[in-house]
Amino acid sequence: MAAGCSSTDKAGPPPLDVSTRVETATGPVVGYVSDRGVKTWLGIPYAQPPVGDLRWRPTRPVHAWSEPLASNEHPEWCTQVTTALDELEGIDKGQILGSEDCLYLSIYAPADATPNSALPVMFWIHGGSNMWGRAEQYDPSELARRENVVVVVAQYRVGPLGYFQHPALRDKADGLAAGAANFAVLDLIEALRWTRSNAGVFGGDSDNVTIFGESAGGQNVYALIVSPLSEGLFDKAITQSGIPQSTPMQWAMEGHEGVENPYPEAAQKITGSREPTARQLRSVSAEEIWQAYLSDGEREGSPTMVDDGVTIPADGIRASLARSLVARDIPIIMGSNQEEAKYLLAFDPEYTKKRLGFIITPRDRDLYDAASEYLSGAWRATTINAPARDVVRAGAGEVYSYRFDWDRQGSYWFSDVSYLLGSSHMVEIPFVFGMFDNFLGSLGGMMFHSDTSDDRAVLSRDMMHYWGNFARTGAPGDTPAAWPALTPETAQRTMIFDTPDDEGTRLGTDATSVDQIVEAVRTDPRLDADGRRCKIAASLGHIFGPAEPRFAALADSVCGMSQDR
């Protein structure tokens, strides 16, 4: 789950600027020039609203319009349930907000971009567990300005409206996409089609498109790489903390350990019928659909990305990734953060407690450290190191690996944020976008202080430069440090991103492996007491077991022996 940097002006939308008027293939659009001098167009429709009979249908191209479209306000969110991260922005948790009419994208371009500029296009896919997130949380203005690129931020259906399957919904009238389960992937494909057709009028090069995304957005990047329906729509890919994982259709339909609320069960909850019709499924409200995945306002189970054989090959993302990268000759950057799991641990009452109602401290530092080490290590081993090794051995020639290490948040109201969060999941996003002043509401104030601003600026410039170079050429470059592509002999090599006061950006290695994590959990003396070993083994099995059987076997073995499972 992750979000980014919002540019929303709570005082009202900025005035339209006639100099930003462009003529897209679907109609004229007028945006504004931001206070950073970046041309900005917000909320451009790229598809027909997926409402009524178009719910759970393949994404339809948008109808053309003739009057200039005012694009100076963020679009409404796709229907979703608010989370604890929304509370940081003053929005109560557990609300069902948004609209099914949400398939819009926003575009950011340098001030001097013209239809003749042919700038690289970077297409951002937001995170949020594929259950949450929206375009207004991200402001890539500084990336667009500094790196002279056009950045597109797309919304897509999330949760059960974006990922759902039921036999009643399979319709031959849907053509090649009949039987699809991953409607969000179809949304992103349509958004990429629109971008290919229209990037030029915003100053972009339609023949040079890089997709990039974080967390669930990174998973969607992987889905697009392997999807047989996306070929020819993009040229390069960057995945930040994405997991190359999808669920077999049989598990999604029949249930499986780690796959809660299988689709037939969810459909019955939604309609009250064991054998609902497509009309019944499409006639209930979006709120009723979401309620099937909630219990007392909390998510209970979730839809999942499925190997539907339509949007994703039947053998799944992980199995088809190498052959797709090789066949399509797609350069890719794959990376993760050193302490990914701390975003799960820091606000978990099983691992932390609050003193005086707001000072967060670990309940047990040894357990906190071990959980962070092994869950973060498993993330690295299963989502970066093993896939990178496999795709390089398969013949993919331009594969680059990174690890983000920055952990200089310091303290906030006596909470040691550097220790509690460190280089956790999503922390790299403000560095990639060059924006620190509005990161998830109050979270930015907790993490980014004035005494680290100079070093943060250096690291952010480094990352934006590498990302921009990659979008331009397919190689991240050699400044400030050479970042070479992986080879079968150097598959453990990775670029490490950190600030100058902590060794800086440099080429290093990360050999973390699944076997290494499994053995360490079995033998770590910090886990000897109070069922700790089972607790961590069970977490590894639950999170990574569906993708990595060795973690599932570890959970069975350890928890079976301790009888704590």
What residue spans define the domains of the chain?
18-509, 514-562
pLDDT in the model for residue 3: 45
- In this structure, the strands spanning 80-81 and 96-97 are antiparallel
pLDDT in the model for residue 172: 86
- CA distances from residue 551 to 235, 511, 539, 554 in whole angstroms, order as listed: 34, 18, 9, 5
Given phi > 0 = left and psi -120 to 50 = alpha, else beta, which region is 504?
Answer: left
With CA atoms as reference, report the closest residue to 243 among 550, 548, 468. Answer: 548
| φ, ψ at 239 (rounded to 5°) | -120, 120
**Which of the residue ranges 30-34, 122-126, 357-361 would you say has the lowest mean pLDDT?**
357-361
Mean pLDDT of 414-441: 88
Q: Locate the DSSP E strands across 37-95.
A: 39-45, 69-70, 80-81
Q: What tens digit of pLDDT does each residue of 82-96 get?
A: 988 888 788 888 899
Per-residue pLDDT at 7 exceeds 60 = no
- CA distances from residue 280 to 177, 212, 267, 285 in whole angstroms, order as listed: 21, 37, 10, 10
- CA distances from residue 76 to 102, 106, 155 in whole angstroms, order as listed: 6, 12, 10
Task: Give the SS3 label for residue 411.
Answer: strand
Unique residue bearing structure tokens 């499986």: 256
Q: Is the pTM of this model over 0.75?
A: yes
C-alpha 73/C-alpha 106 separation (Å) is 10
Taking only Cα atoms into account, the Rg of the chain, rounded to an integer number of angstroms, comes to: 23
Q: How confident is the model at residue 357 (pLDDT cuts 50, 70, 90)?
A: low
C-alpha 322/C-alpha 73 separation (Å) is 40
C-alpha 125/C-alpha 133 separation (Å) is 10
What is the CATH topology of the domain spanning 18-509?
Answer: Rossmann fold (3.40.50)
C-alpha 411/C-alpha 425 separation (Å) is 19
Q: Locate the DSSP E strands across 405-551.
A: 411-412, 415-416, 493-497, 506-509
Per-residue pLDDT at 346 exceeds 70 = yes
Mean pLDDT of 105-133: 96
- In this structure, the strands spanning 119-125 and 96-97 are unpaired
With CA atoms as reference, report the closest residue to 83 among 138, 48, 131. Answer: 131
